[in-house]
A and B are shown apart, each in its own frame.
Chain A
Amino acid sequence: MDTRRLAFGLVCLMLLLTGCKPAVQSDNQDQETLTVMTHDSFSISENVIAVFEKENNVKVSFLKSGDTGQLINRAILSKEAPMAEVLYGIDNTFLSRALDEDLFEEYTSPVLAEIPREFQLDPQNRALPVDYGDVCINYDKAYFKEKDLALPQTLQDLTKPEYAGLLVVENPTTSSPGTAFLLATIAEFGEEGYLDYWIQLKQNGVVIVNDWETAYYTNFSGSSGKGSQPMVVSYASSPPAEVIYASEPLEDAPTASLTGKNMCYRQIEFVGILKGTKNREMAEKFVDFLLGKTFQEDVPLQMFVYPVNQNATLPEEFVKYTQIPESPAILDPALVMENRDNWLQIWNETVLK
């Protein structure tokens, strides 16, 4: 009997130890809170957010909502009673769905003047561009050097016999870089031609896996996984990440991107003020802050994407190790939204069967 009580006591003690701490982080009650709904990859430096919070006497709380698909689902389902003031992270492949669902309030931020027109895909300024990245094929530099193999210059080159079995891509129906790569092939070969291209790719032994993690860390030979394919669909920012997050300091990036015409697909992320917000004024301030120089310069090292604000300077590693493609593929968001399901379905039936 005594031992049973002891056991109970121990459990209670554990609960106290682990239970007390998390609850006490409540802030003082008079301070306003601004809630920002975003995806899991969102990140920001402590001192950068502190600047905004201090200037405006506000607490910014981030509601992380999974990947981009989960995020937009969540925003749509909670439309009647929005869970946040600001939504960060809808990309151009989902943009027109978000606009169709009428999620955002119009806001023409003065900072938009510092952002190139090409990023501003919504003329009514409900969704404002905030960062961008390019999905590109990364290659293992050492492999190509060792085999004395020329780099593919176009998407069509990838179907040549010398690159047989050397490329791993993600399934477009389960992975967002996978979707982007599919869209790049559609931009290059058109709706009539892309399926033929994929059939050729398949005949040339392209490896398709479901997620970026497996593709990059298991199949790709240039990462720490040391797999068997020296080319992978990843991001233009992955090579600098390899340097910044190397095990031991590197003099040079082990990987680089293929940046030929239409070989990369440009993903632009947007921020918007959610319809029905109770604190429009603070939301506007926060959007201005996100588009402004301070946050924009924080973006590369936090999320490995690029600032859209042209006044923001890039960190050294980014300047040194990333190639920004000159003519990345990008499709009209309305066209993408209209045909997405169809493209993916047909791709599924043609390429996977």
Chain B
Amino acid sequence: MRKNITWVLWLLPVAFLVVFYLQPLAAIFMRVGNQIVAEGIGSFSFSRIVETLIFTLYQASLSTILTLILGLPAAYIFARFNFPGKKLLRTLSTIPFILPTVVVAASLNTLLGPRGWANIFLMNVFGLENPPIVFVNSLGAILTAHVFYNVSVIIRLVGTAWSQMDARLSQAARVLGASSRKAFFEVTLPLLSPVILSATLLVFLFDFTSFGVVLLLGGPQNVTLEVEIYTQAMYLLNLPMAGVLSLVQLLMTLGITVLYTQAGRREIPLAPRVNEEGMHKAKNWKEKLIIGIVSISLVIMLVLPLISLGMRSITRMEANRGQREDVRTGITFEYYQQLFVNQRQSIFYVPPITAIRNSLYYGIITVIISITLGSLAAFALNKPGRFNQWMDAVFMLPMGTSAVTLGLGFILVFNKPPIDLRTFPILLPIAHSLVAIPFVVRTIKPVIATIPANLKQAASVLGASPLKVVREVDIPIIAKALSVSAIFSFTISMGEFGATSFLARPEMPTIPVAIFRYLSQPGASNYGQAMAMATILMIVCALSVLMMEWLDSNAFLRK
């Protein structure tokens, strides 16, 4: 009986994975295999693969550690304190996640680039000839961007679990004489560790397979596996080598995930508490100081680049002819006005409203697909068993798969009805969902584990049908995690996260597509319009996140 239920739960998610992930992946690997047999692997250099792998692991580890250093204290203050500006800060911290990498690179450069504000300031103060901060082409740039992108993952995932944790436990420890440090390390941290591990794994995999950031900011010297795959496939047209590299990447992902499932098995079921129960205002200077320091760091790391991007979209910056140093600046909204004009009379022009509508459309479909399939999988995974341990790892794989390679697989497989790349309407949200589902699973699964069995048994004993148990017990407990998953699925889709743009090309242009169109052309007004479009993307996303949070608190918390 139990087994049967698990089987039913697995049906949809597994079918989805087989059709849209395993099938194209197998097709491309088979083709690559044949090609290797037929003509060899081209210039194969074992040491280069190892070198690239080591650098990839190195930068991913560093990035993850830095993200945790900023993210965990932030999760703490969001989980335990009420302070002015909290909601705004939390929403703003989600935005980096949606920004296309080209825009992130541009906005970090407006701050730290050769003529970024920081450099202009330092040059003026110290009378320097050359910009003192070298940002482009450095490891530091990669790390900065990764922290910028992923802090919100830690904040949302860990922060939510933390706020739902029974505050009385650590209070009891304190009453029983434990120091606050001891209470934290022996009560709070062990209880949080499954969710911290989950979040760390997600961040690590994002950093491990990161593409755009490394390509745009890391420069030619810092090459990760995914960048090398891109180069091999797209510039050298050497598919065999690209295939071998993506296999390496896939195996590493599998290894890391299996390691993680080994470490994360000891989950402690705990009765979840009413949200925001342990929330309070800062009571003493020490707490105030912590909140102050953490929120200021968040503002510097996350909000400043966003503001500088927004500012750039309303600033006219054009050198006077002849006097290069005089940069004539002024506030202008003309870039926004120009967005509404089809300057070139091109058939590919997208009015901003259409782009917004298309992006929202794909975003919502992605949310529906990934939440449905992701939570089914999460529930199924929660039943013990060896099979499930493997499935746990398998469901993480899409995140660690080279999007370039998978995209080529899509081309091989989806070329005739019923699923034709050209006409199948939701291939793009499906591609987004492939990245989003692992995320949903990782977010929901640790929370499901905290649902006490006796609560469900009690409900059944009292006469509730199984469906009713799910609706009245499970769903309310995982509501918060569901809403976090929805927010992330949505943002993954809105930003065409990472290299998902390789997977399928939208026939209906989205906001990121519009941004690329402007940014890939010279001219001050193209640049300005790209920044304006990026600002619109930020605003649309911030509003959507706010709305989802509002829906969530209205729908589930008022009991």
Seen from chain A, the residues whose Cβ lies within 8 Å of a Cβ on chain B are 3-4, 6-8, 10-11, 14-15, 18-19, 21-23, 35, 40-47, 49, 62-67, 69-70, 72-74, 77-78, 81, 83, 94, 97, 140, 142-143, 145-146, 171, 173-174, 179, 207-214, 216-219, 221, 223-228, 234-235, 238, 241-242, 244-248, 250-252, 254, 301-302, 304, 340-342, 344-345, 352
Report B76-123 residues with CB < 8 Å from chain A CB. 102, 105-106, 109, 113-115
Other-chain residue from B106, B113, B332, B505 in contact with A64 (beta carbon distance below 8 A): B505
> Across chains A and B, which 7 residue pairs bring their CB atoms closest together, nearest first?
A245-B523, A69-B234, A7-B555, A142-B324, A224-B524, A228-B114, A18-B361
B344-A45 in contact (CB<8A): yes
Given contacts A7-B551, A83-B421, A174-B215, contact A15 B364 (CB under 8 A): yes
Whose C-beta in chain B lies nearest to the C-beta of A235?
A: B522
Given contacts A64-B505, A210-B219, contact A225 B43 (CB under 8 A): no
Other-chain residue from B334, B425, B527, B551 in contact with A10 (beta carbon distance below 8 A): B551
How many angstroms from the CA of A207 to the CA of B221 in the assembled complex?
A: 12
B324-A143 in contact (CB<8A): yes
B347-A225 in contact (CB<8A): no
Whose C-beta in chain B lies nearest to the C-beta of A340?
A: B236
B113-A35 in contact (CB<8A): no
Q: Looking at chain B, what size class is its interface with the partner chain?
A: 35 or more
Other-chain residue from A23, A223, A345 in contact with B527 (beta carbon distance below 8 A): A223
B322-A142 in contact (CB<8A): yes
Interface membership of B357, Cβ < 8 A:
yes
Whose C-beta in chain A lies nearest to the C-beta of B318?
A: A247
A248-B321 in contact (CB<8A): no
B526-A83 in contact (CB<8A): no
- 16 more contacts with CB within 8 A, not counting A4-B556, A6-B555, are A7-B552, A10-B551, A42-B348, A63-B505, A69-B237, A142-B323, A174-B227, A174-B231, A207-B137, A218-B106, A224-B317, A228-B131, A245-B523, A246-B318, A247-B528, A341-B42
What number of A-B contacts does a CB cutoff of 8 Å give?
235
Interface membership of B171, Cβ < 8 A:
no
Question: Please, which residues of chain B bring their CB within 8 A of the CB of A72?
Answer: 237
Given contacts A35-B422, A247-B528, contact A208 B219 (CB under 8 A): yes
How many angstroms from the CA of A35 to the CA of B420 in the assembled complex?
A: 14
| Least distance between A253 CB and chain B CB atoms (Å) | 10
Question: Please, which residues of chain A bring their CB within 8 A of the CB of B137?
Answer: 207-209
Other-chain residue from B239, B334, B425 in contact with A247 (beta carbon distance below 8 A): B334
Question: Please, which residues of chain A bring their CB within 8 A of the CB of B527?
Answer: 217, 223-225
Interface membership of B466, Cβ < 8 A:
no
Whose C-beta in chain B lies nearest to the C-beta of A170?
A: B220
B408-A77 in contact (CB<8A): yes
Q: Could you list 11 A-B pairs, sorted by A, with CB under 8 Å?
A: A14-B364, A18-B360, A18-B361, A41-B520, A72-B237, A210-B219, A217-B109, A225-B115, A228-B115, A234-B522, A242-B522
How many angstroms from the CA of A10 to the CA of B550 in the assembled complex?
A: 12
How many angstroms from the CA of A238 to the CA of B64 in the assembled complex?
A: 40
Interface membership of B216, Cβ < 8 A:
yes
Question: Please, which residues of chain A bring their CB within 8 A of the CB of B380?
Answer: none
B321-A254 in contact (CB<8A): yes
B324-A221 in contact (CB<8A): yes
Whose C-beta in chain B lies nearest to the C-beta of A80?
A: B415
A77-B411 in contact (CB<8A): yes
Whose C-beta in chain A lies nearest to the C-beta of B130?
A: A228
| Least distance between A304 CB and chain B CB atoms (Å) | 7
Question: Please, which residues of chain A bring their CB within 8 A of the CB of B43?
Answer: 341-342, 345
